[in-house]
Amino acid sequence: MNFQAVKAIYFFEMARFFRTLLQSFVSPVISTSLYFVVFGTAIGSRIQEVEGISYGAFIVPGLIMLSVMTQATSNGSFGIYFPKFIGTIYELLSAPISYFEIILGYVGAAATKALFIGLVILATAAIFVDLKIMHPVAMILFLVLTCISFSLLGFILGIWARNFEQLQLVPLLVVTPLVFLGGSFYSVSMLPPIWQTITLFNPVVYLVSGFRWSFFGNADVPILVSLLAISSFTIVCITIVAWIFNTGWRIKQ
Amino acid sequence: MLLEVNELRKTYATGFEALKGISLKVNKGEILALLGPNGAGKTSLISTICGITNPSSGSVVIDGYDISKNFRDARKLVGLVPQDITLEPFEKVANTINFSRGLFGKKKDDALTEKILTKLALWDKRDSRLMELSGGMKRRVLIAKALIHEPRLLFLDEPTASVDVELRQSMWNVVADLKKDGVTIILTTHYIEEAEAIADRVGIMNKGELLLVEEKTSLMQKFGQKILNIELQKRLNQLPKEFSKENVKLSDDGLTLTYIYDTKQKKTGITKLLSNLSNSGINLRDIQTDQSSLEEIFVNLVKEKVE
C-alpha cells in the first residue's frame, strides 16, 4: 500500500479546497440561511408542523442532504476531471499507485469536503431552529456514507465526462431534481397516493428518509431499507469504479 | 540491461496500429534518442512503457520488473517528462514537485528539492504559481517533477520542442549531468542535431516500427556518405569524358567538382580521382570533405522503407 501517495493526493485536493475556503465556507452558510428565510419563514408559517416537528427543523436533514449530495458529486467529479482535462493525469497513471489508492485519495478528499459542508450547514441550521439529534451515530453513519457514495458517483462522472458541459449535466439535471423530489422539504405521506408510489423509485427518498430518522425518529420508509439502499448504492459505485480502472475506460485508451 | 521491450504492440480502439511489434534493449547509463516523424509511434512507445496506455500485446521489463506484474517496482524506477506542458496553473512550483515525489511513495525532501530546483535554475521561483512562469520555466518544472523521486530511467518526450536555442543548450547540459549520475535516458526528438549532440545510440521509428537502433557513430559511418568538394584553378566548360562514369559532378559555374563516395567501401576512389585529374592537367585550388548529417541519413532511411 502506497500510503504516501494517498496522502499526497488527499492533501493536494484538500489544499485546493482551502485555497477557496471563503467560497467553500461562506457559500453553504449563505444558501442555508436563504433556505431558512424562504422555506422556513415563508412556507413554514403556513405549514407549521410536519409529523409533529416544526417545519423549520423538518427541512434541516433534507437541506443537509441536498448540499452534501451535490457538493460530493461535483467535488468528486472535478477532482479527477481536472487532471484529465489539463493532462496531469499522466502523473497518476505512471506512478507506482494502485487504482484503489487513487480512489482513496480523490474520493476521500471529496467526501471530506462534503462532510465539512454538511457539518457547516448543520451548525448554521442550529442557529435558526431548535435541533435535537435522536440517533447521532446513525446520523454520522448516513452522512459519511452519503458523502462517500456520492463522491464515488462524482468520480465516475469525472471519468465519463468529455467536457465541462457533461461534467455539470448529471449534478444539475439528475442529482438536484432527485433530491428536491426525494422528500427533502416534505414528507412523502403529504403527497397524493399515486405520487407516493412513484416517489419510491427515487433512490434519494431512502437516503433522506433514513437521515431524517436519525434526527427525529420518523421515517417515510423503514430505516433498514434506507440503510440497505445507501449501502447498495455505495457498492454499485465501487463496482463501476473498479470496472473503469480494470478496463482503463476513458483513461487508458 | 535496464530496459527490455519485447514485441510490443499497441492498437487503439479506432483500429490504428501505433506500435507494430517493437523490440528494444537499453543499457544502464546510456542515452538513446528516438527519432521519427509525427505519428511514428514514439510517444505511444513511451506512454505504454510508463503505464499511461495499456499495451495490446508484448512485454516490457525494467531492471527485471515486468511493468504489468510488478508495476510498483517497475514504475518506481521511471521518470517521465511529457511532450505537452501539463501543469496545474494555480499550484506553486515547490508544491507540485512535492506532490510528484509523494505519488512515488516518498516523503518530502527539502534538500533534494533545493538541489534539483537550483540545478534547473528554478530555486528562486519555488513559491511562484505555475501560471506565472514562462514556457521554458514550465518545461524545467516538468523535468524537476520527473527527477524528484530519483528515477534510474528517464523519458524525455521532445524536451526541447519549441524552446529557444539557449534553453535547448541548457537542457542538453542537464541531460549530460544526469548521465554522469548514472541515469539512463530515452528521449524522443524531431531535432536530429539534438540526437547527434547528446545520444549514445539512435533509434529510428516510422509508422509504428523501429527501423533500426544503432550506435550514433556507427550509424553515421554505416549510412554516412561523404562528399568531396574540389575547387579548380580554372573554369571548366564541361566535365571531361573520362569522369562521366564516376560519381563526379561539375558545378554550374564550372569551378567546383563534387565527388560522392561511401566511407564503408574499402576503396573510396579518391586516389584514382585525384590521379586522373592530375593526368588530365586539371589543377586544384582546394579540397574539402563533408559528412552527411543524421538528418540526411534519417530522410534516406525513411524514404527507402516507404519505397
Q: What is the per-residue pLDDT across A63-121, written as a single tens digit (0 to 9) for each?
A: 999 999 989 999 999 999 999 999 999 999 999 999 889 999 999 999 999 999 999 99
* Chain A stretch 44-83, residues whose beta carbon is closer than 8 A to a beta carbon of chain B: 82-83
* Same-domain check for residues B122 and B77: yes
- Residue B215 pairs with which residues in a beta bridge? B201
For cell 530511467, what's the residue?
A: B153
Contact of A212 with A66, CB cutoff 8 Å: no
pLDDT-wise least confident of A39-53, A101-115, A121-135: A39-53
Decide if B54 and A248 are in contact by the 8 Å CB cutoff: yes
B78 interface with A at CB cutoff 8 Å: yes
* Same-domain check for residues B213 and B242: no
> What pLDDT is recorded for position B306?
60
* Same-domain check for residues B16 and B68: yes
Decide if B103 and A5 are in contact by the 8 Å CB cutoff: yes
Q: pLDDT tens for residues B114-144?
A: 999 998 889 999 999 999 998 889 999 999 9
In a domain, B152, yes or no: yes
Mutation choice for B interface testing from A78, A91, A246, A250 by most B CBs within 10 A = A91
What pTM was computed for the model?
A: 0.83
Using the CB atoms, write b or e for A126-162: b if 16+ within 10 Å: eebbebebeeeebbebbbbbbbbbbbbbbbbbbbbbe
Angle between helices B165-180 and B135-147 (to 10 degrees): 10
In a domain, B34, yes or no: yes
Residue B102 has its nearest CB partner, among A7, A88, A248, at A7
For chain B, which ranges sit under pLDDT 70? 162, 223-224, 292-295, 304-307
* Same-domain check for residues B203 and B239: no
> What pLDDT is recorded for position B305?
64
* Same-domain check for residues B207 and B268: no
- A250 interaction partners in chain B (CB closer than 8 Å): none
ipTM for the assembly: 0.86
B76 interface with A at CB cutoff 8 Å: yes
Q: How far apart are the CA of A240 and the nearest CA of chain B, in angstroms?
A: 19
B99 interface with A at CB cutoff 8 Å: yes
* Same-domain check for residues B52 and B133: yes
> What pLDDT is recorded for position B307?
59
* Same-domain check for residues B169 and B245: no
Residues spanned by the domain of B7: 3-221
* Same-domain check for residues B155 and B287: no
In a domain, B247, yes or no: yes
B184: domain CATH number? 3.40.50.300
In a domain, B8, yes or no: yes
Decide if B87 and A88 are in contact by the 8 Å CB cutoff: yes
B270: domain CATH number? 3.30.70
> What pLDDT is recorded for position B217?
83
* Same-domain check for residues B10 and B106: yes
Mutation choice for A interface testing from B100, B103, B155 by most A CBs within 10 A = B103
Distance, CA of A103 to CA of A76 (rounded, Å): 10
Distance, CA of A52 to CA of A50 (rounded, Å): 5
* Same-domain check for residues B149 and B285: no
Domain residue ranges of chain A, discontinuous segments joined by +: 3-247
> What pLDDT is recorded for position A110?
96
In a domain, B256, yes or no: yes
* Same-domain check for residues B89 and B229: no
Phi, psi of B20, rounded to the nearest 5 degrees: -110, 65
The separation between the first and the last C-alpha atoms of chain A, rounded to the nearest angstrom, is 26
Decide if A86 and B12 are in contact by the 8 Å CB cutoff: no
* Chain B stretch 197-256, residues whose beta carbon is closer than 8 A to a beta carbon of chain A: none
Q: State the cell numbers at B170.
A: 541548457
- For chain A, give the percent of residues with pLDDT over 90: 51
pLDDT-wise least confident of A40-49, A188-197, A220-229, B195-204: A40-49
Distance, CA of A64 to CA of A144 (rounded, Å): 12
The pLDDT of A8-35, averaged and rounded, is 85
For cell 436533514, what's the residue?
A: A61
Contact of B49 with B209, CB cutoff 8 Å: no
For residue B244, the tally of other CB atoms under 10 A from its CB is 11
Q: Is the dihedral of CA B246, B250, B255, B256 positive or negative?
A: negative
Tally of structural domains, chain B: 2
Nearby residues of B50 by Cβ (< 8 Å), 6 or more positions away: A90, A93, A94, B75, B78, B80, B155
In a domain, B20, yes or no: yes
* Same-domain check for residues B233 and B114: no
- A83 interaction partners in chain B (CB closer than 8 Å): 88
In a domain, B300, yes or no: no
In a domain, B65, yes or no: yes
- A98 interaction partners in chain B (CB closer than 8 Å): 72
